[in-house]
Structure 1
Amino acid sequence: MGVLVQFLTFPLAPVRGVVWVVDKVVEAAERDYYDPEPVQAQLAELERARAEGHIEEEEFERQEDELLARLEESKAYQLRRGAQGGA
């Protein structure tokens, strides 16, 4: 039965291959987007800019809030991934 199913669904193999590639690209993009290290580096750079007087306090707070929200989002994503068994 398994050979018959494989034979009948063989024309769909290119579609399955494209779906697999798209899944891998999405996984890589999510890993990059939810990686906390670049956000932490941006926070450090933002703090440095404020300390050196290159950025006003109001702008600093706005950008800091955005970056902290990204970190929260990253933590939530990592918790979801961990709860799914890293799938």
Structure 2
Amino acid sequence: MGLIGEVLLLPFAPVRGSLWAVRQVLAEAERQYYDPAAVRAELARLEQLLEAGEISEEEFDRQEDVLLDRLEESARRGAGTGNGTTG
């Protein structure tokens, strides 16, 4: 498009910048949500709640299924390194 196109699209620069920022935040949120280390930590916390009697077996099973689905999705995506580090 060149220089003329850039000049014509200049009024939309704040919108384009905002969309870029939203995409970056969303990508990071998804990376953290599907991070295998984070999911395993949540599974451990869930097991502690069950052992402490703070949640029922049914609630444990329901939440465990959700977390295991996230872990499976993480493996499909290849998200994270599994050790809590980025890279």
RMSD: 2.4
- What TM-score does the superposition give when structure 1 sets the normalisation length? 0.66
Gapped regions of structure 1 (runs ≥ 5): 80-87
CA offsets per residue over residues 55-81 of structure 1, 9 Å max, x none? 5544433332222112112222327xx
Deviation at 1:45, TM superposition (A): 2.6
If asked which structure has higher relative contact order (CA below 8 Å, sep 6+), I would say 2
Gapped regions of structure 2 (runs ≥ 5): 80-87
Deviation at 1:33, TM superposition (A): 1.3
Distance 2:59 2:23 in 1: 38
Q: Which residue of 2 aligns with 1:61?
A: 61
- Going from structure 1 to structure 2, the CA distance change for 1:59 and 1:23 (only over 3 Å counts) comes to closer
- State the number of aligned residues: 78
More helix by share: 1
Within the alignment, does 1:31 sit opposite 2:25 as a pair?
A: no
Q: Which residue of 1 aligns with 2:14?
A: 14
